[in-house]
Amino acid sequence: MTKAQGTTLGVIAIACWSVYGVLLASNAVTPPFRSMAIVFTFATAVLLGRRLVKGHGLRDLFRIHLSTLALGVLGLFGSNCLYVVALSLGGEPVTVNIASLSWPVFMVALIAAFGIGRPGRWDAIAMIVGFSGVVLVSLKESRIELDWPVCVGLVGALCWAVYSGFRTRVPAGPPDAMIAFVGTSALICWGITLGFERGEVPLNEFIRLAAVGLIPVGLANLAWDLGARHGDPILLAGFSFAEPVASTALIALILAHPVGPIDIAALGLVCVAICLSVAGERQRRLIRQRHRPDDRRVV
């Protein structure tokens, strides 16, 4: 797979993730870990179905390095479960959504701090602007006080950023390693919900949770896993800043949740960060073109 193809898959995953927030925020009765148990179960089913249709067996799914499995479960279980926990703690859906989907900010920081990529000047400015948006959205409106449900969402965002940033630093594992990640996460969630949670699952919420498992968590996460392994990490980090904007807009429009001044300001900072990050990638491409050998086929 080429870097361009990997980057394209990552962008497709970002588009699918945009419907994640509105589907989960519309559930009000199902306990959080039971919600994610259903989501991860359907995600596992769709990924296993895809693998069987392609004629692949299941044997090599168990040949996955422990560090790869641990990283995948940290990213998948941590980010998704902390999102629904933040909502169950009374967090405002719009604000929690912005916080949980601010993981690209942390991803750029990790890439720079650990030498995974080579962020340039524009990327550094984008990171500062993005972090400003994170700080802004984590404060309660009208007073300087941390919004703890939002902080839980930010920890979930950090979990996914760690996974996305360090995916190339652990063994790749089988092509369908995401099946092991979602399957293990499903088992953990079922263990927690059967042991500690009580509550029903209305049919309409079950259908929405199944849709989350099939599309944003199942197929989209598979696309992102391939994108994170083969695509341009800096460019994907830049494009992924668009996800909070689209996802928050869907929640506000479909669920009629108000968007406050702090939310608008935070989203504005995120949009600026997108532009700066994309500008940085364009600058890197221009530099690479200047250093290419003279070739008339290169336009």
Burial 194-211 (b: 16+ CB within 10 A, else e): eeeeeeebeeebbebbbb
Out of 51-65, 236-250, 277-291, least confident range:
277-291
Give the CA dihedral 222, 35, 190, 158, nearest 10 degrees.
60
Task: Work out the pLDDT band at 298, boundaries 50, 70, 90.
Answer: very low
Map out the domains of the chain as residue ranges.
Answer: 3-290
pTM, to two decimals: 0.81
pLDDT in tens, 142-198: 566 678 888 999 999 999 999 988 988 898 887 778 889 999 999 999 999 999 998
Residue among 53, 146, 148, 154 at smallest CA distance from 109: 154
In angstroms, how far is the first alpha carbon of the chain from the final one?
A: 23
Give the integer Cα–Cα distance in Å for 149 and 84. 10
Mean pLDDT, the chain, rounded, equals 83
**Can you give the pLDDT at residue 141?**
60
User: What DSSP letter does each residue of 9-63 carry, written as one string?
Assistant: HHHHHHHHHTTHHHHHHT--SS-HHHHHHHHHHHHHHHHHHHHHHTT--SGGGG-
**Distance from CA of residue 261 to its chain's centroid?**
25
pLDDT category, 297, cuts 50, 70, 90? Answer: very low
Chain segment 56-114, per-residue pLDDT in tens: 777 777 788 899 999 999 999 999 999 999 999 998 888 888 888 778 778 878 887 78
How many other CB atoms are there within 10 angstroms of residue 266's CB atom? 27
Count CB atoms within 10 A of the CB of residue 4.
Answer: 12
